[in-house]
Amino acid sequence: MYDGGASPAAGRSGPDALSAAHAEPKHPETLTEAPASPEAPEPPSPLPDSVAPESGSPSSAEIAEPEAEVELLTEPSDGVPDIVLDEVALAEVVAALRAGSGPLAIDAERAHGFRYSQRAYLIQVRRAGSGTHLIDPLAFSTPGADGRIEPPNFADLNAALADCEWIIHAASQDLACLAEIGLLPQRVFDTELAARLLGYPRVALGTMIEELFGVRLLKEHSASDWSTRPLPREWLTYAALDVELLIPLRDQLADQLVAAGKWEWAEQEFAALAAGAGRTPEPRVDPWRRTSGIHRVRTRRGLGYVAALWRARDEIARRLDRAPGKILPDAAITELAQHGTPGRTAIRQIASFSRRQARRYETTWVDAVTAVDQLTERELPPLHLPHDGPPQPRLWAAKDPVAAARLAKIRASLTGRAAELDLPMENLLTPEFVRRLAWRPPTPATAESIDAFLAELGARPWQRELTVDLFLAALASD
Residue 33 in this model has a pLDDT that exceeds 80: no
Beta carbons of 456 and 450 less than 8 angstroms apart? no
Which of these, 82, 55, 99, 222, lies nearest to 139 by C-alpha position? 82
CA distance 352 to 345: 14
Residue 297: Cβ-neighbour burial (10 angstroms; 0-12, 13-18, 19+): buried
Look up residue 113 and give its DSSP letter. T
| Domains assigned to the chain | 73-275 (3.30.420.10), 287-379 (1.10.150.80), 393-476 (1.10.150.80)
Which of these, 11, 28, 32, lies nearest to 20 by C-alpha position? 11
Question: In 285-358, at which residue ranges do the beta strands (DSSP E only) sit?
Answer: none
Residue 10 in this model has a pLDDT that exceeds 80: no
Confidence of residue 68 (pLDDT cuts 50, 70, 90): low
Reported as half-sphere exposure (CB side, CA atoms, 13 A), residue 381 has a value of 19
Residue 1 in this model has a pLDDT that exceeds 90: no
Give the least confident one: 142-151, 172-181, 283-292. 142-151
In whole angstroms, what separates CA 191 from the centre of its chain?
12
Residues 6+ apart with CB under 8 A from 243: 105, 106, 107, 124, 125, 126, 132
Beta carbons of 258 and 198 less than 8 angstroms apart? no
Residue 236 in this model has a pLDDT that exceeds 80: yes
Reported as half-sphere exposure (CB side, CA atoms, 13 A), residue 214 has a value of 17
- Interval 424-437: pLDDT, tens: 999 999 999 999 99
- Interval 136-160: pLDDT, tens: 999 999 887 776 788 999 999 999 9
Residue 357 in this model has a pLDDT that exceeds 60: yes
Percent of the chain with pLDDT over 70: 85
Q: To 5 degrees, how large is the angle CA 179–CA 184–CA 189?
A: 115
Write phi, then psi, for 216 (nearest 5 degrees): -115, 135
Confidence of residue 192 (pLDDT cuts 50, 70, 90): very high
CA distance 330 to 339: 15
> Which ranges constitute the DSSP H helices of 55-113?
87-99
| Paired sense of beta strands 187-190 and 122-128, if any | unpaired
More confident residue, 341 or 29: 341
Confidence of residue 340 (pLDDT cuts 50, 70, 90): confident
**To the nearest whole number, what is the mean pLDDT of the chain?**
87
CA distance 391 to 403: 11
Residue 12 in this model has a pLDDT that exceeds 60: no
Confidence of residue 466 (pLDDT cuts 50, 70, 90): very high
